[in-house]
Structure 1
Amino acid sequence: MDIFGVPLQAFAGQLVIGLVNGSFYAVLSLGLAVIFGMLNVVNFVHGALYMLGALVAWLLLSQLGIGYWGALLLSPLLVGAMGMVVEIFLLRPLYKVDHVYGMLLTLGMAYVIEGLARYAFGVSGQPFQVPELLRGSVDLGFMMMPIYRCWVIGVSLLVCLGTWFLIERTRLGSYLRAATEKPHMTRAFGINVPLLVTLTYGFGVALAAFAGVLAAPIYQVSPLMGSNLVIVVFAVVVIGGMGSIMGAIVTGMLLGVLEGLARVYYPEASSTVVFVAMIVVLLTRPSGLFGR
């Protein structure tokens, strides 16, 4: 059976790859959207933190014997804690000056983190085993679907929707929005605004690390794994609307699928289709699909 001239198995295989990539785009762009939407910081270090999440997970496995499930919990917590330290000592002094200084700081941090990782571990990738519980495939009739990829898609959607619910539908989320939009008024109600800001940045960083741990068994753990991905993720955030939580989730998944389909019908365009979509959206709707 063919779909527009392409065998069903090849079409479905690329669709699955697109959904997996879209899951990473969604989680990463969600972290960027949270940080920009809440703190108005363009976090260029996000790709390096994604790589750092995978690298910390690999170190926990190889040096301490902590498996995938422990690393999936500990790595985002450790990297998120590092992010909170960065926010307190490096980013916080820059909030009162032009936002371009924060952007330049995070860009410099990205190069420093990547350079240190390359110096310590080289550029060759390190393997990370799929946990035994998630090994194997499911026979769908027209293709074999790896169980781990099903897990990545499912848990990414769960984390994304849970984050949206937390920020948009809970009292804590309302405190976070109030602390960033009306900080002086929020302080008047006895709310610790600096603590909320620090936790928000740490949470956005932890999302990047979480995506890195999910990616580790699929792609080899390498210091270079986040350098190119962050550009695509920024394009996803722009298309969805800067600071839009739902825009980051929906656009990330859709663009991952679009990229996968491009590999089927026009492989030469697969690496540029996201940026073409960004240009079209910026020309027709500069605020993004979900932006205000």
Structure 2
Amino acid sequence: MMNIFGTSSQALFGQLLIGLINGSFYALLSLGLAVIFGLLNIINFAHGAQYMMGAFVGYLLLQKLGLGYWWALALTPLIVGMIGLVIERFMLSRLKQVDHLYGLMLTFGIGLMIQGLFLSKFGAIGQPYPIPPELAGGKSLGFMFLPYYRIWVIGASLFTCLATWYLIERTKLGGYLRAATENPALVQAFGVNVPRMVTLTYGFGVGVAALGGVMAAPMYQVSPLMGADLIIVVFAVVVIGGMGSILGSIITGFGLGVVEGLTKVFYPEASNTVIFVMMALVLLVKPSGLFGSQK
């Protein structure tokens, strides 16, 4: 009985850890989506490809320039974020006066192009990326083994999410951003360059996705399809949390990761669909999402 109980406990805590890891990436990616949609009204279907691009930029910095994980962590969001600036400035900004559906279709096409370019260059086989030596190994807690890198990912993701929430909801810059979505002409009258602010906001959201890609690289093989496999779940997380709700994306991302992990323990057959079932139920009860505002 004790042996069975011990094995079950180990499986439970192991899946809880995996759920928190998955939730970290759900929260990071849905955070970037929420920032872009909430402040720019753009449904960024290229987000999964930009996450994948972040993992590959980190991989190329290591393979071609010999830069380690920490340099990649600092440089990759800037590099991919600047690519996002170009996309917004020369493509998305031209669609401001038309229906938002055109922006969705454009970003969907951009995502397919990015994925196709990396597939043609690297193929579908994943590329390995080593865990930084400082975070290698882990600690045995008796009932489970706790890898240091996974704890780092959870902590770094939580810090990034909360810092972004604070920036947008509690600072003057965030106030300008929110005001610019409601009345850009009025904000422009106060001397704020609204188009530049919009471009930088999109670049920031893309940079957050790229940061998630670098953090995922040592845990999963770097593959052109890694974003496509994840983005569908992330969109479900955003819908459940509420489109444009930053706090909703953070809480829902981590929460659904844990729910998914627990489902793998108690009812494994439903682990791949539980998030989508919850999305359907939330949409039936509250179409604006758990934390979304009813308009």
- The amino acid across from 1:260 in the alignment is G
Tell me whether 1:64 sits opposite 2:65 in the alignment. yes
1:90 aligned partner: 91
- The amino acid across from 1:182 in the alignment is N
CA contact (8 A) 1:180 1:197 kept: no
Tell me whether 1:269 sits opposite 2:267 in the alignment. no
Q: 1:226 aligns to what SS in structure 2?
A: helix
Q: Could you tell me how far 1:169 is from its partner in structure 2?
A: 0.1
Q: CA RMSD in A?
A: 1.3
Deviations 1:92-129 (A, max 9, x none): 00011000000000000111000000001111000000
Deviations 1:132-164 (A, max 9, x none): 000011122211100000000000000000000
2:287 aligned partner: 286
Q: 2:227 aligns to what SS in structure 1?
A: coil
Separation in structure 2 between the aligned mates of residue 199 and residue 175 of structure 1, nearest angstrom: 13
Q: Are residues 3 and 279 of structure 1, via their aligned partners in 2, closer, same or farther at CA, if it must alter by over 3 Å?
A: farther
Tell me whether 1:74 sits opposite 2:111 in the alignment. no
- The amino acid across from 2:74 in the alignment is L
Tell me whether 1:253 sits opposite 2:221 in the alignment. no
- The amino acid across from 2:76 in the alignment is S
Give 4+ residue runs of structure 1 displaced > 4 Å after superposition: 1-6
Q: Could you tell me how far 1:189 is from its partner in structure 2?
A: 0.4
Q: Could you tell me how far 1:181 is from its partner in structure 2?
A: 1.4
CA contact (8 A) 1:126 1:222 kept: yes
The answer for unaligned runs of 5 or more in structure 2 is none
- The amino acid across from 2:173 in the alignment is L
Q: Could you tell me how far 1:2 is from its partner in structure 2?
A: 8.6
Separation in structure 1 between the aligned mates of residue 4 and residue 287 of structure 2, nearest angstrom: 34
2:198 aligned partner: 197
CA contact (8 A) 2:6 2:143 kept: no
1:119 aligned partner: 120
For residues 11-22 of structure 1, the aligned pairs below 5 Å read 11-22=12-23
Q: Are residues 282 and 3 of structure 1, via their aligned partners in 2, closer, same or farther at CA, if it must alter by over 3 Å?
A: farther
Separation in structure 1 between the aligned mates of residue 118 and residue 52 of structure 2, nearest angstrom: 9
Q: Are residues 4 and 265 of structure 1, via their aligned partners in 2, closer, same or farther at CA, if it must alter by over 3 Å?
A: farther
Separation in structure 2 between the aligned mates of residue 107 and residue 150 of structure 1, nearest angstrom: 33
Separation in structure 1 between the aligned mates of residue 137 and residue 176 of structure 2, nearest angstrom: 44
CA contact (8 A) 2:77 2:211 kept: yes
2:170 aligned partner: 169
CA contact (8 A) 2:282 2:290 kept: yes
CA contact (8 A) 2:127 2:222 kept: yes
How many matched pairs? 292
Q: 2:222 aligns to what SS in structure 1?
A: coil
Separation in structure 2 between the aligned mates of residue 237 and residue 25 of structure 1, nearest angstrom: 9
Q: 2:288 aligns to what SS in structure 1?
A: coil
Tell me whether 1:131 sits opposite 2:132 in the alignment. yes
Q: Could you tell me how far 1:60 is from its partner in structure 2?
A: 0.3
Q: Are residues 22 and 2 of structure 1, via their aligned partners in 2, closer, same or farther at CA, if it must alter by over 3 Å?
A: farther
1:46 aligned partner: 47
Deviations 1:215-259 (A, max 9, x none): 000000000001021010000000000000000000000000111
For residues 105-254 of structure 1, the aligned pairs below 5 Å read 105-254=106-255
Q: Could you tell me how far 1:4 is from its partner in structure 2?
A: 9.0
Q: Select between 171-180 and 158-167 the one with higher mean Cα deviation.
A: 171-180
Separation in structure 2 between the aligned mates of residue 4 and residue 57 of structure 1, nearest angstrom: 42
- The amino acid across from 1:123 in the alignment is A
Q: 2:146 aligns to what SS in structure 1?
A: strand
CA contact (8 A) 1:19 1:153 kept: yes
Separation in structure 2 between the aligned mates of residue 84 and residue 4 of structure 1, nearest angstrom: 53
CA contact (8 A) 1:3 1:11 kept: no
2:34 aligned partner: 33
TM-score, structure 2 as length reference: 0.97
Q: Could you tell me how far 1:267 is from its partner in structure 2?
A: 1.1
TM-score, structure 1 as length reference: 0.98
CA contact (8 A) 2:21 2:153 kept: yes
The answer for unaligned runs of 5 or more in structure 1 is none
